[in-house]
Every structure is written in C-alpha cells, then in structure tokens.
Amino acid sequence: MSAKVAAGVDPVKARKMITYRWITYGMFLLTYIFVYFDRVSPAVVAPELMKEFGLTATTLGILSSMYFYPYAAMQFPSGVLSDKIGPRLSVSMFFVIAAIGTALFGLSQTFGWCIFGRFLMGVGVAVVWMPCMKILYNWFRPNELATLTGVMLTLGNVGAILASAPLAFLVGIVGWRNSFLWLGAFMVLISIVDYLIVRNKPADMGYPTVSEIDGIDYYPAQTAAQKTTFKENFIKLLKMKNYWLISLYAFVIYGTVMGFQGLWFIPYAQQIYGLPKQQAANMLMFWPIGMALGCFAAGYASDRILKSRRNTSFYGMLIYVATWIPIAFFTGSIPVAWFYPLLFVMGFFCGAYVPNYAHIADGQPTSFMATSNGMLNIWYFVGGALYQALMGVVLDYYGKVNGKFPVEAYQATFMFCAASLVVGAVAMYFTTDSKPIITKKAA
C-alpha cells in the first residue's frame, strides 16, 4: 500500500482493502489452475482416447478442440456477465458446469458423450478469465495489471504442469476415467468456496478503492464513458486497428501453443522417437514450467522494464518463432535430450502474449474493460480450436505408415505453425503501443 492515504479515507479500511484484495485474487488464481488442466489434459490421454473410441487424428483434433469453440463463443457473454452481474456469481455458477463436463468426460461410454463433456468443460471454464480480469480492474492499480495478469497465467500453467507428468502418473494408477471424475468433484468444491469468499469490488466490503486510497483517478476515461452507451463502446472497439492486429497475433500464438503442447507433442514424441508416454509427458512438463515463468516475466517486463505492451509482445514473439526452427526443419533428428530445454524455452517465450490484455484495456472505460478483453480472448481460443483440428487434418492427409504418422507429416504440420507465427509477429509490429493513463484528482 502507498505510504500515505489520501485525505478523507479511513486508514484502517484502506489497510483491510489492500489485504482482502489478495484473498479475492488468490481464490481466482486457484480456480484458474483447473481451467488450464482441463484445457491441455487430452494430450496425455490422447492414446487412450484414440484406442478406446477408434479415433483418427482428425477426430481426435475435433474432440480436443471442442473445448475451444464454446470457450471462444462464451468470451463476449463472459465479459458482459463480469461487467453486469459481477465476477463472484459468474464464476461460481459456470465453474459448476465445468465440473459436470469434466466428470462426464470421464464417465462417457460413447464418443458422443465424450464430445458433450468436453463441450461443457469449455462452456464452464470460459467464465473464469474475464471475471479474473474484472477483479484486477476493480481492486488493483493500472500499473499492476500486466504483472498480475502474468502471475495469473503463471499459476494457470501449474494446471498445465499437473496435466502432464502428474496426470500421466495418476492415469497409470486409477485410469483416465477416474482421474477426470475426481477432478470434477474437486471443482464443485472450488466453486462453492469462490462464492463464499470472493467479492466483486471493495465497496461490497465497505472498503475504499485504490483510486480513493491513493488520491489518483486511475480510470479517467470512465467519466467520459458514462455519456456513451455499451453499443458505442463496442463499435469503437471494432473500429480500432489495434483490436484486429492484436487479435491476429493472439490467434496464431495460442493456436500453435494448443496445437503442439495441448495435443500433438506426445503422439509426435511417441511415434517419431519411440518414447514411452511417461517420458514424453515428463518432457512436455517443461513447456508449462517455462510458460509459467515466461508469463510472469512478460507481465513484469511490460509494467516495469520495457514499459511497453507492444515491444514486450513483439520481441518475445520473435524469439518464440526462432524456437520453432528445430521443430520444423529437423523434425525427426533432434537429440532426445534437447527436448527438455527446447520445450522450456518455447514455453517461456510463448508467454509473450500476456501484455495483450492490458494493451487492449488501456484507455477503455472500466465498465467496458472486461467486455473488451472478452472480445480479444475469442481469438485465442478460436486459434486453439482450429490449430488442433487443422494439424490433425494435415497429419491425416499424409496418412499413417505401419500405424504411425511419418516424419514428413509432422514436419509439414510444424512448418505451417512456424509460418503462421511470422504473420503474427508482423501484425504486432504494426500495432500502436498503449500505456495506462494516470491523472491526479482535482482538488
């Protein structure tokens, strides 16, 4: 908390507010871990799913991507719900839906029910990220947003870590079905605790805002925005050059992340290098570890070091593109031991997308911030869905040889990913940078 509290603000309530915001934020951090777990868990159980339901690469890609289509479709409603009814109720209700979908995924005896369970996962967890962002806008300062977004994504990647080697270990003990059933039950408990603890804004606890505590109007755009309608703010967003350029960047960077880390790396490692699943999962775990650190680093660099949303995302993307060179050009000849550091570095620099949310939100009215982030978030998950499916289509185009996809099939798939990332880097280069506006309150 600032050393001084603005005149007229109760210092006791100010201290309580600063403490309670971390409790609220912490609960949503815990919730977000399971969003990531559901997102990437099919990578570990892909062989079981293909065997049990007789799936091709294309149908496996469709199954995994079924999480992303409803997730993308729910981003606009998620932002509206966060702005209108608040983060607390939004998350508590929809996380129960995610829990039901997760349990159903494990209980399903047919491919159709499996698809439906995956669909419910996407619907339910879709209403977590936007409420988390709304909590940040309501409880924290603008120059803390990118850093705390990075922390949130860092903790989210704990879920991806749990969905790699630890999940493979659990599946080996209790089977993939029971693993998802137990996870669904635990998610119901999380949703209940969220409702009991989380509060939408400081006023719900009788506390002052950070603007009132510091004596600074952190969101001056709100005053002018009160004279504009939701429709006007929405149309203004769609006319922004930055919105479309950042959305293209989001589409390709997260598409490659979910296509490679989220689904196809383990089949690639098993089929091309002959690795056992546990070893491949152990390797894959280095990606979310790197991504967890990279997300925090990107947020911190954006707020404290480079002090630039655009430059942080652009430079990070350039390095991420470079990490795809060995994957795309030496697909079948990478020394196995190199995968550990390579996946770590790939994960670290794909976290360069973290400042995008602050990049879009800076200058937006507080009543529209969650919605604007939701409109951006759509493209991350459309990318995640399409890349998983398209990579499966490319693999099936080449076909299997002796029950395995050949090196040429994986190489064509990975070259497609690398080329599209170059397009995303160019898009970010042409964005206009943004910085939070901070003004002193009038005397």
Question: What b/e sequence results for 218-240 when a residue is b if at least 16 CB atoms lie within 10 Å of its CB, and e otherwise?
Answer: bbbbbeebeeeeeeebeeebeeb
Q: Which residues contact 410 (CB under 8 A, 6 or more apart)?
A: 264, 268, 271, 272, 331, 332, 395
Instruction: Domain of residue 165: give its range.
Output: 11-439
Residue 258 has phi, psi (to 5 degrees) of: -75, -30
Tokens of 358: 């602050």
d(CA 420, CA 319): 14
pLDDT of residue 409: 95
d(CA 304, CA 91): 30
Tokens of 37: 């777990």
Do the domain assignments include residue 63? yes
CB 389 within 8 A of CB 264: no
Do the domain assignments include residue 232? yes
- The CATH number assigned to the domain holding 109 equals 1.20.1250.20
Do the domain assignments include residue 1? no
Do the domain assignments include residue 3? no
pLDDT of residue 153: 79
Q: What is the CA radius of gyration of the chain?
A: 22
| DSSP-assigned letter for residue 228 | S
d(CA 258, CA 377): 14
pLDDT of residue 441: 47
What is the number of other CB atoms lying within 10 angstroms of the CB of residue 186?
A: 11
CB 121 within 8 A of CB 259: no
Do the domain assignments include residue 74? yes
Do the domain assignments include residue 300? yes
Over 101-162, what HEC string results? HHHHHHHCCCHHHHHHHHHHHHHHHHHHHHHHHHHHHHHCCHHHHHHHHHHHHHHHHHHHHH
Strands of 268-385, DSSP E: none
Do the domain assignments include residue 354? yes
Tokens of 27: 């609960």
CB 94 within 8 A of CB 123: yes
pLDDT of residue 443: 37
Do the domain assignments include residue 2? no
pTM for the whole thing? 0.74
Q: How many domains does the chain have?
A: 1
Segments of the chain with pLDDT less than 70:
1-3, 219-227, 363, 366-367, 435-443
Residue 203: closest CA among 91, 374, 86:
86
Tokens of 350: 């794909």
